[in-house]
A and B are shown apart, each in its own frame.
Chain A
Amino acid sequence: MTETSRTIRVTVNGSQRELAVESTLEALLEALGMSGQRVAVEVNEQVIPRSDYPRTTLHDGDDVEIIRAIGGG
C-alpha cells in the first residue's frame, strides 16, 4: 500500500500515533483538541516555543511530550 509512505509514526506522551507526512505540531495539537490550552511541548527532548508550533514539522520516529500543570507540592 503506497499510503504507508504517506504517513509517519510518532510517539505522543508514550503512545504511538500515525500522522500524515508534513504534519505540523500545530496540526497535531488541534487534532488532540489541545490548541490554545495551557500546555508545553517538547519534541525529542527539545522544548518547542509556542510560537514555533505552526512551523515545526514532525518526522517519523519523533517523540512528542505534551505537558501541563497539575496539583502538587
Chain B
Amino acid sequence: MADNDKLIVAGREYHSRLLVGTGKYRDMAETGRAIRGSGAEIVTVAIRRTNIGQDPDEDNLLDVIPPDEFTILPNTAGCYTADDAVRVCRLARELLDGHNLVKLEVLGDEKTLYPDVPATLEAAEKLVADGFEVMVYTSDDPIAARRLEQIGCVAVMPLASPIGSGLGIQNRYNLMTIIENAAVPIIVDAGVGTASDAAVAMELGCDGVLMNTAIAAAKDPVGMAQAMRKGIEAGREAFLAGRMPMRRFASASSPLEGTFWQGGS
C-alpha cells in the first residue's frame, strides 16, 4: 500500500486502518499477542472499578499495551446515559495522564446494543465542550452521523450490524451515504465477523474498521488478527485502485477477432 496513505484522526497519523478492542480474550498474554498480530495502533479499553484486594502484582492491561507504544482509546461501553458517559471519560482522561481521545458510546438497550442517538448527541456536545477528542459509535443513520460531525467529533463510527453479532456489513448503502457526506474519518465499529467483512467495509470507502469479538472469539485469535490485517489492507487497496463496473452479462476476456473455426451461437 502507498506509504502516504495514512489514517488521520485528530491530527495524528496512523499506518494501520484496523482498530481493535481488548475484551473477551482468554488472558493478558493472548490479548497482547492478538493486538500485536493485528498491527493495530489504536486500541480500545474499558474503564471499570478496580478489584479491591486483588493481587497487586497481577498484570495490568496497560502493561500489555503500553500507552507509549499504542494510542489507547478508552470507551464508555456499558453507559446508558450521557452523564455516565461523560463521567467515565473524565476518569479515563485522568487515568491516561490527560490523554483526550475517547470512544463515546451511549447504549439504548442490552438486546441490540444499539446506540441511544439523542443521548449520544448530548454526551458528544458535553465532551467536545470539555476538550475531548471524540470518536463516536453511532447507528448507520446518515443524519445522525452528520450531526455528530457538526458537533465536532473527530471520527464517526457507525455500526455495520449489532455489536458482537458477527453478521458482517448489513447496511452498505447507508455506509456509502455516510462516507460520501463526511469530512471526518468514518470507521465501521461493530458487526464484522471475518476478514472478508473487513475488506467489504474498506472497499466501500470506510477509513477504518474497529473490531473486537471477531478476533477474540475466533478459534485462533492471533491467526484471525493477522487475517483481519490483510483483509483491511486488501480492501483499502481495492478501494484506491477502483473496482470495475458490474454488468449483468458476460464480457469475453479473449479477442473475438481472429477465430478460424466455423462454430458459433
Within 8 A of B (CB), among A1-33: 12-15, 32-33
A side interface size, CB within 8 A: 27
Kindly state the separation between the CA atoms of A72 and B62 in the bound complex, as whole angstroms.
Answer: 12
CA of A73 to CA of B93 in the docked complex: distance in angstroms?
18
Q: How far is the CB of B25 from chain A (nearest CB, A)?
A: 6
Contacts between chains A and B (CB distance < 8 A), count = 102
Range of interface residues on B (Cβ < 8 Å): 35 or more
Q: How far is A18 from B52 in the complex, measured between Cα atoms in Å?
A: 15
Are B61 and A70 in touch, CB under 8 angstroms? yes
Known: A14-B49, A67-B50. A72 touches B44 (CB 8 A): yes
Return the CB mask of A30-73 against B: 1 if under 8 Å, else 0.
00111001111110010111100000000000000111111111
Smallest Cβ distance from A44 to chain B, in angstroms? 12
Smallest CB-CB A-B distances: 8 pairs: A72-B46, A73-B21, A73-B212, A40-B95, A71-B22, A69-B45, A40-B94, A71-B23
Check if B91 sits within 8 Å of A47, measured CB to CB. Answer: yes
B56 touches A65 (CB 8 A): no
Measured in the bound complex, the distance between the Cα atoms of B60 and A65 in whole Å is 18
CB A30 to nearest CB in B, in angstroms, measures 11
Are A68's CB and B48's CB within 8 A?
yes
Q: Which of A15, A42, A70, A73 contacts B52 (CB 8 A)?
A: A15
Contact yes or no, B61 A69, CB < 8 A? yes
